[in-house]
Every structure is written in structure tokens, then in C-alpha cells.
Amino acid sequence: MNKSRRGLVAALKKGTVDMLPLSLAVLPWGILFGSLAVQRGFSWLEAQLFSAIIFGGAVQIVTVELIADNASLITVLFSAFVISSRHFLYGLTLRDRLSPKPMRWRLGLGFLLTDELFAVSGDRRAYKTRFRLYYALGAGGSFYFAWNLWTFAGIVAGASLPDLTELGLDFAIATTFIALVVPEIKSLATLVSVLVAAVAGVVFSLCQFELGLVCAALLAMLTGYVTGRNEGRLR
């Protein structure tokens, strides 16, 4: 193995190791989704394909719950669109770094671009060299493998154990996003967005509003935008 290839393998391993804490952190989340899907009437194959094709924990869980509750197709699609829309913003943020790369890299890393991979992409040099592309591939690919493995574990557990949501595993969703969001609160606009999203999400949930999650996100983005535009005056 020549020096260049050894370097690429090392970059893959480094990405995998750096992503390992987040890959382990979503273990309860993946188990929750897998068990939830089979307990809501989806087959083992359908539940696994959710993770293999969609590869988005939040939208997977919300979609499964909405379908199980016989929500309208418009509600399911609109909720999935809004929840997943943050990936559009991730793509815009990384566009200048990835747009010069070959299509195979753009498509591959675009599919693997989860909240977790974006969280480890903050370095200004990310994606800019071949070694850093392989680093991102190792991080994103290992997370994809872990998510599907945890989903399978949840499917097996869900078929033989009682409702795992009663164990409070759904709290893993909140803790994962808290760990990702808190370090990024570096401005007043971001802080306002986070607080509005949290309060509105709780209020809408207590009111059993079907589109509460979507409306909380939209309200948070609007207030964050307005705060950002007026931040200079507030100071």
C-alpha cells in the first residue's frame, strides 16, 4: 500500500473514530425507531428500509407516528418536508466547498449529510482536500452503518418486548439535538430561535396540535430572522 492510499485509509479511520461518540449516542434513538415502527404495524423490511433510504431519525419517527395515527397524506408530506428542510440549509452552507467536487462525492456526501455529520464539518478546511473528503466519508458512512444497525436492534426488540417508548427512550432524541445545538448558540438570534422553538413546541404539544412541531419550527425561524435583522439596534 503506497503512502497516499495509507493516508486515505487513515482519514477514513479518523472520521469513523471522531464520529463514534455520536454514533453511540443515537443507539437508544435507533432502537426506539425500529421498535416503534414494528409496533405501529410496519413490517420488518419496511422499518429497515426507512433507515436505509430516508436516513433521518426525526422525520422517520414523526412520519411513522403520523401514519399510525391515520393523518392525512398532506399532513405527512408537509411535516416531512418542513422537518427535512434544514438539510437544504446545510447544503447551502457547504455548497462552496462541495460544488467543485465530482458528482459522486456531492451525491454521496449529500446523502450522508445528517445533523451529526454537519456538526463535525465546522472546520473551514472541511471537504476541501481529498483526505478531508475521505474523512467525511468515514464519519458519515460509519454513522449510516450505526443507525441502520441500531434500527435493526430495535426491530428485533420491538417484536419481542413491550412498547419501548414507555422506557423513555424517546428522550434520546431531545438529548442528541441539545448536544448538537447548544455549542452553536453564538448569537442572540440563535438563542431566541432555540428558546422560541422549545417553548412553542411544548405549548403546541400540550394543546395536541397536529402540526405543532412544524409551526414551532417556523415560528422559531421567523423570530430568529427578525431578531437577527434588529440585533444591531437592540445593542
Q: What is the mean pLDDT of the chain?
A: 82
Does residue 170 form part of some domain?
A: no
- Residue-number span of the structural domain to which 67 is assigned: 3-164
pLDDT confidence of 131, banded at 50, 70, 90? confident
Do residues 145 and 198 share a domain? Answer: no
Do residues 124 and 232 share a domain? Answer: no
pLDDT confidence of 187, banded at 50, 70, 90? confident
Do residues 13 and 91 share a domain? Answer: yes
Do residues 160 and 190 share a domain? Answer: no
pLDDT confidence of 227, banded at 50, 70, 90? confident
Residue with the larger pLDDT of the pair 127 and 45: 45
Does residue 53 form part of some domain?
A: yes
Do residues 62 and 160 share a domain? Answer: yes
Cβ atoms within 10 Å, residue 173:
17
Residue carrying the nine cell digits 428542510:
85
Residue count of the chain:
235
Does residue 174 form part of some domain?
A: no
Do residues 41 and 139 share a domain? Answer: yes
Nearest alpha-carbon partner for 203 in 195, 211, 212, 194: 212
Do residues 31 and 60 share a domain? Answer: yes
Burial pattern 101-138, b for ≥16 Cβ within 10 A else e, equals eeeebbebbeebbbbbbbbbbeeeebbeeebbbbbbbb
Above 80 in pLDDT, residue 202? yes
Do residues 120 and 225 share a domain? Answer: no
Of the chain, the percentage scoring pLDDT greater than 90 comes to 13
Tell me: the pLDDT tens digits for 9-58?
888 899 899 899 889 888 888 888 888 888 888 999 999 999 999 998 88
Do residues 59 and 156 share a domain? Answer: yes
Radius of gyration, alpha carbons of the chain? 19
**Which of 52-56, 155-159, 178-182, 222-226 has the weakest average pLDDT?**
178-182
Domain boundary among 115, 130, 164: 164
Above 90 in pLDDT, residue 67? no
Does residue 169 form part of some domain?
A: no
pTM: 0.75
In angstroms, rounded to a whole number, what is the distance separating the alpha carbons of residues 136 and 90?
14
Above 90 in pLDDT, residue 181? no
pLDDT confidence of 93, banded at 50, 70, 90? confident
Do residues 125 and 221 share a domain? Answer: no
In angstroms, rounded to a whole number, what is the distance separating the alpha carbons of residues 147 and 118?
16
In the prediction, which pLDDT does 214 show? 74
Do residues 113 and 204 share a domain? Answer: no
Does residue 25 form part of some domain?
A: yes
Does residue 139 form part of some domain?
A: yes
Domain boundary among 164, 197, 213: 164
Does residue 81 form part of some domain?
A: yes
Q: Per the structure, how many domains does the chain have?
A: 2
Do residues 152 and 201 share a domain? Answer: no
